Amino acid sequence: MQSQVKALVVAFVVVAALAAGLGAGYLIWGWPTNWYARDLANLPPGPKGDLIRYGHALVVNTASQIGKSATDPAKRYAGNDLACANCHLNAGLKPFAAPFVSTFASFPILVDDQVITLKEGVNGCMQRSMNGKSLPVDGPEMEALLAYIKFLGKGAPQGVRVAGMGLLSLQDPPLAPDGTRGADVYAKLCANCHKDDGQGERSASPGVGYSIPPLWGDDSFNAAAGMAKTAYAAAYIRTNMPFTVHYQDPVLSVQQAWDVAAYMISKPRPPAPPEAASELH
């Protein structure tokens, strides 16, 4: 009898989740799999593991690997010294910080009636967030990034974004976003890390890149990046900033998140590349 009741409860939860449009991935987050716990230390030696480890290095040490200051001049694909992990926190494993867990299983995707492949998605980030140029689609860097993203999503349901993917939705602010109010929020809650001039903090090791990324200026993301859009930035900030915040216990109010996003985006940054400029209008 107890097993029948349990079955009925589970069935009800499934139906309710689907009816609410949450999808199967949201139901199974942490049950039985914690999608946000992956350990590269368990990778076996060999070419496959090496490729995944290289992908991880590209995500966390982007500047030294493929940044504008990369050791190998032929691999200077990015136009700044940011790291993928500056936005995709915990190397793509932090919930609601644009994680990679469902990424491989979600592509290709349809955007504005166009089919976008994962390789195109990666190169979109290279052109916008990294303010650089596309990686060769069949090159070792692209292969390694896709191998790492696939590794993080091993076992994830195909075509389903598990809970924690993307950004946590943020309601509209009570008042219109205001950069002047945002400047006060920035001074109180953000400048301690990102500095008064918004330029962050350079990495001590390996000597290039940032331990705390710049939010504007020549070495920041360009005007076509997702983070250069107020709604995207506000949702990200609310859930993930200050750096140690947990999405269930945010520090900033909804209004503060919108205001500080408006302040950040008002600052100068590299322009959108020609191929992306038309998409902003």
Q: Cα separation of 155 and 165, whole Å?
A: 15
Tally Cβ neighbours within 10 Å of residue 280. Answer: 10
One fold for both 38-152 and 179-280? Answer: yes
Q: Which residues contact 186 (CB under 8 A, 6 or more apart)?
A: 194, 260, 263, 264
Residue range 179-280 forms a domain whose CATH class is mainly alpha
CATH match of 38-152 with 1.10.760.10 = yes
Given this model, what pLDDT does residue 3 score? 39
Q: Residue 129 has what pLDDT?
A: 97
Residue 280 CA to residue 260 CA, distance in Å, equals 21
**The model's pTM:** 0.86
pLDDT at 20: 32
Which residue ranges make up each domain of the chain? 1-32, 38-152, 179-280
Q: Whole-angstrom Cα distance, residue 145 to residue 130?
A: 15
User: Cα separation of 49 and 112, whole Å?
Assistant: 36
pLDDT of amino acid 159: 85
User: Cα dihedral angle (84, 86, 87, 91), rounded to 10 degrees?
Assistant: 60
Q: What is the mean pLDDT of each run of 10 residues along the chain (281 residues)?
A: 36 31 41 80 93 98 96 96 97 97 93 92 97 98 98 90 94 98 98 98 85 97 97 98 95 98 98 69 32
Any idea what the Cα angle at residue 209 is, between residues 187 and 102, rounded to 5°?
A: 90
